[in-house]
Structure formats: structure tokens, C-alpha cells
A and B are shown apart, each in its own frame.
Chain A
Amino acid sequence: METPKIAVRDLEKVFFTKGREFAALQDINIDVRRNEFLALVGASGCGKSTLLRIIGGLEHPSSGQVLVDGEPVFGPGKDRVMVFQDYSLYPWLSVIENIRFCRELAAHTRINTISDSATAVDRSYALLELMGLEAVKDAHPNELSGGMRQRVAIARALMSRPDVLLMDEPFGALDAQTREVMHDLILHVFEIEKCTIVFVTHDVEEAIYLADRVVVLAPNPGHVDSIHEIDLPPPLERDQELKLSTDFVEQKRAILHRIRETTGVQRDLEKLDRLTKHLQETHA
């Protein structure tokens, strides 16, 4: 079997807060295939962001490890670029300067030949075009809408041609319409750039629409509940109508049921019922 691009092995993460232990992740084993789009979903508190941050090297596991191309991860690396929900752009740089930020870093310019720089300039313009940012190339991030800012963040992440793109609820702060546009855009990018994407979201529809596989994480402590192979047309043939198809809705139902099952939603409903009854009685 081909070695997975990313392999998470017996991963465990324990947080210590105010003298108490809190198991955020337990017994996590996930393989991410090369050039796969994998989505992590689950109720809040299931540790999906923590898992992503560990893969990105921004946090260290309490035990177990993450392997990228068979090599263990010890910290952040330019092969695994992360896209955040917000506030990660550099407000003092223009859009094009933000996109080229990695060219300022020694890690990307060790072999800085003239042709290398020329390629980089070409690439930054290509990304600008791909992301539909030509018109705002010299604007600063705080002049842009949330959607445009995330386009810049994605372009900046892609600039160095990373093998792996880690996305932590990148569209979580956007309105529904902008989100749809971003979904089609990211599928397009995924098709062109051919990288491996791990995508964290709490929006199941988003996860199904974008991903090849959806991993459902369950809380207390965070563990893998189920993995769903998504059976949809190839990325570029998907459109928004697809979200209303029977196939799509069936898969959404299955995943949503898993998530509800693993959280306290059911109990909350019972409690609400009791409260409603109580109120009706007191008013009567």
C-alpha cells in the first residue's frame, strides 16, 4: 500500500488547566491520502481544531505522533501551511505583499536565483488572478470584505506550493452567499494545485460538498467516531444544486445523525420540553 501523505498514529492530547487534566484527544488514528481533501467535522469541543494544530506542528501531542511522508512532525514547517479563520493577514502589507510574504523568509529564498524570483513574481500574479484579486492588488487588508480577505489568506498559503494545506474553519466568519462562492473557488484551486487538504469545519454541508472523505470526531474525550467516503461527481462538476440532490441529503443526514448522537443535543431537547410544559402549566 502507498504510504499516506499524513498519518496520525495513536495520538493523544491532554490539556492542563488550573491543576485539572482535560483529555482533548484520545486514540486518534487517521490516514490522509496523497492529494486527498479530508474534512474534520464534529460538535464544538471535540478537538478538531486541536488535531489540525497538532498536524500543523503548532501544538505538541501528549503521546503518539503525526507522520508526513513517513517522517515524524516536531514543529511547524513550510510543507504544511495553515489558513486561519481570521486576523492572520498582515495589515501593514498590501494584498500582493501579503501573498509574497513567504518570499521574505530565508526558508524560501535560500536558492534565490534570478529565474527563481521571476517565477515567484509570475506565480504571485497567477494566484492574484486565480483568486479574483487583481483589482485590489495594492489595497490593504482592512479595506477588504471578509470574503476577499480569506481569498488573500488562501493565495498567501498557496504561494510557496505547499504539499499540505491545513484550513481551520476558513469560512466560519463569512455569510452564506460568500461561503458558496468560496466553496466553488476552493474546489477549483484544489483541482489546479493538486495538494493535500485537511479542512476543519462545523458545517456538515460544507464538508460534504468539498471533501473526498469526512471524519466525524466525537467529544469527551475527542475521538474518531466514523469516517464517511463521500460519493459525489468530481470537484469541477459539482454545483450548488447538488446540495439539494437526494444523494447529497442522504449523506448529510447520516453524518448529522452521527454528530447528534455523540453530543448532548438530545438531552437538551428533553430539558426544553420539560421547561415548555412547566411554563404552559404556570400560565394556565
Chain B
Amino acid sequence: MAASPDSGISRIGMGPNMSGAGKRNSETGAKKARVGRFWAIRGELSRRDYLLIAFGSFMLAMLGWWGLSVSGLVPRLFLPTPLDIAERLGHWYADGNLLADTQISVFRVTAGFLLSALMAVPLGLYIGTYRPVQAFFEPMVEFARYLPAVAFVPLVLLWVGIGEGAKITVIWIGTFFQMVLMVSENVRHVPAAQIEAAQTMGASRREIVSKVILKSALPDIVDTLRITLGWAWTYLVVAEMVAANSGLGYAILQAQRFLQTGKIFGGILVIGAIGLLMDQLFRLFHRRAFPWLHKR
């Protein structure tokens, strides 16, 4: 039986009287096939392999960082070691401020984000559904989204004062306009056939909006919210750096004054970790709420 590496692997493998050479050939063939599968364009990867590689990339980044700061190529002050940062975070936690800072920051982000979402989802739904509403709001929103949210901080302080309202307003300015446009885009992507089928079944306009358009666009809208939540964190830090006396952003700014680079890194990492956690929660919610999208 001829067993070239190119012939079907399973057929070779099942040969009853395989010669030694045939076996070797089939092994290299199988290896080739494995490599081919691994690097397949838009290929499949088991969940275990995926997590392994993802974990590996984190470890690699950590190692590179560690090596760089320990080697002395970069001064420790500029690039503290992971251990320095862990130590800093420990102090921060022991002082009792880390939890409080995190809590207030999470509260501000959540409040600003929810306020944005509660306003942007209905508005986006109507902009994407009714042309006159689109004509009224969309050009305005397109303009507003290019207004630099950061530059609004002094104005916001004037308008709303320095209380919690100021931070929430900055987050709102930073996220609301983008969110409206993205939600309206999600709504416009609802297939026309879904809407028209409902129309010919006698659905009223209100029924089409609530029973077809909203339901159909909801998974995409949840994805939009997940993405905009990341931006909410960016604007939180901006707001806290300019006008706050608590929160993770404020702590980072304070650390800068005292050149505590370890704490700056720690603050950044904490925000990153919370962001990743919230993102994963959103993904979990997406899987639970829209199961039909995740089974195929």
C-alpha cells in the first residue's frame, strides 16, 4: 500500500500490514495535517488551546516586563517590577483607600454609563426607525460627538459644581453621543424582511418597534453597550484627574505628584482588571440572554 504524506491520513492509518517506512510517512503526514489545522485560515481552536495561548501571552508580557525592569536597562523608577507594584497595591489596600477608591470609581462609571444607556437606547431606536426623528437628531449628534468631552470639564465644573454630578456628566458627554449613533446603526441593520413580514401579518407600527425591531437589534445593542462601557472608564479617569478628591483616577494623579510610579501602574492595572471583568460579565449576559446566537 502506497502511503505518501499527501494521501488520506485515516486510510493510511488503517492499513493492516504497515511497513516501517509507511508508518513514518504517515506520521509526518499526520503532523503536517495538525500544523495545517492549527494555522488554518479562520480555522477552529479548542477552548483549552485558546485559553492556554491567551494565558501564555499574559505571562510573556509579564516576563518581558520583569526582565526589562530587573535588568536595569530602564531605571526602576520609570518601570517598577511587578513585585514593586504588588507591594504598592498592598500598601494601598492596607491604608484602606484602595477599596474605597475602587468603589467610588465603579459607582461613577456605572451611574454615568447607565444614564447614557437609558437615554441612548430609546433615542437610537427611534432614530434608526423613523426618518424624521433621524433628520432631527442625527446631524446634531454627529456634530456633538466630535466635541471634545475632556474640554468640557471646566464648563461642567461651572455648571454642575464639583460633586458626583460633575464626574457623571463628563462620562455622559463622553459616551452618550457615540452610543446613540451606534444603537441607531444596530437598529438599521435589522433585516427589512423581518419588518415587512410583520407588516403583512397586520402588525401596527408600535408592535413592529417593540416586537420586531427592538427584539432583533437587542443582541447588537448589548454589544454596543459592552464596547461603550470601556470608553466610560476612559472618561472617568479624565474626570477624576481634573476634579475629584477620591477614586482611582484621583489616586493615580496623587501618585504622580509623589513620583510613586508603582502606584500609578497599580491604579492602571486595577482599572484594566475591572474593565476586563465587566466585559466578561457582559459576554456572559449575552450568552445567557441570547442563547440562539451561541448554538449552531
Give the B-binding residues of A (Cβ under 8 A): 56-58, 76-78, 80-82, 84-92, 101-102, 104-108, 140-143, 153, 156-157, 160, 166
Q: For the complex, give the distance between the alpha carbons of A105 and B204 in Å.
A: 8
Q: How far is the CB of B188 from chain A (nearest CB, A)?
A: 15
Between A and B, 26 residue pairs with Cβ closer than 8 Å are A58-B196, A58-B199, A58-B200, A76-B199, A76-B200, A78-B202, A82-B197, A84-B193, A84-B196, A85-B193, A86-B193, A88-B194, A90-B212, A91-B216, A91-B293, A104-B207, A105-B198, A105-B204, A105-B207, A107-B201, A108-B202, A141-B292, A142-B292, A142-B296, A153-B197, A166-B200
Minimum CB distance partner of A160 in chain B: B201
Q: For the complex, give the distance between the alpha carbons of A85 and B292 in Å.
A: 21
Minimum CB distance partner of B218 in chain A: A92
Q: How far is the CB of B113 from chain A (nearest CB, A)?
A: 25
B287 at the A/B interface (Cβ < 8 Å)?
no
Q: How far is the CB of B73 from chain A (nearest CB, A)?
A: 53
Structural contact, A160 and B202, CB atoms closer than 8 A: yes
Minimum CB distance partner of A104 in chain B: B211
The contact of A107 among B193, B203, B212, B295, by CB within 8 Å, is: B203
Q: How far is the CB of A250 from chain B (nearest CB, A)?
A: 36
Q: For the complex, give the distance between the alpha carbons of A82 and B296 in Å.
A: 27
B191 at the A/B interface (Cβ < 8 Å)?
yes
Contacts of A157 in B (CB 8 A): 201
Contacts of A56 in B (CB 8 A): 196, 200
Structural contact, A105 and B203, CB atoms closer than 8 A: yes
Decide: A105 near B196, CB < 8 A? Known: A92-B292, A140-B292, A142-B296.
Answer: no
Q: For the complex, give the distance between the alpha carbons of A101 and B296 in Å.
A: 23
Contacts of A106 in B (CB 8 A): 204, 207
Structural contact, A84 and B202, CB atoms closer than 8 A: no
B39 at the A/B interface (Cβ < 8 Å)?
no
Q: How far is the CB of A79 from chain B (nearest CB, A)?
A: 8
Q: How far is the CB of B63 from chain A (nearest CB, A)?
A: 42
Contacts of A101 in B (CB 8 A): 198, 201
Minimum CB distance partner of A76 in chain B: B199
Contacts of A85 in B (CB 8 A): 193
Q: For the complex, give the distance between the alpha carbons of A83 and B188 in Å.
A: 21
Structural contact, A82 and B200, CB atoms closer than 8 A: yes
Contacts of A153 in B (CB 8 A): 197
Decide: A102 near B201, CB < 8 A? Known: A87-B193, A92-B216.
Answer: yes
Contacts of B198 in A (CB 8 A): 101, 105
Structural contact, B201 and A78, CB atoms closer than 8 A: yes
Structural contact, A88 and B197, CB atoms closer than 8 A: yes
Minimum CB distance partner of A164 in chain B: B200
B290 at the A/B interface (Cβ < 8 Å)?
yes
Contacts of A166 in B (CB 8 A): 200
Decide: A87 near B194, CB < 8 A? Known: A140-B292, A142-B292.
Answer: yes
Contacts of B194 in A (CB 8 A): 87-90
B112-151 Cβ-contact flags toward A at 8 Å (1 or 0)? 0000000000000000000000000000000000000000
B32 at the A/B interface (Cβ < 8 Å)?
no
Minimum CB distance partner of B208 in chain A: A105
User: 15 new A-B pairs (CB below 8 Å) besides A106-B207, A107-B201?
Assistant: A56-B196, A82-B196, A84-B197, A87-B193, A90-B194, A91-B216, A91-B292, A92-B292, A102-B202, A104-B207, A104-B211, A105-B198, A140-B295, A141-B292, A142-B293
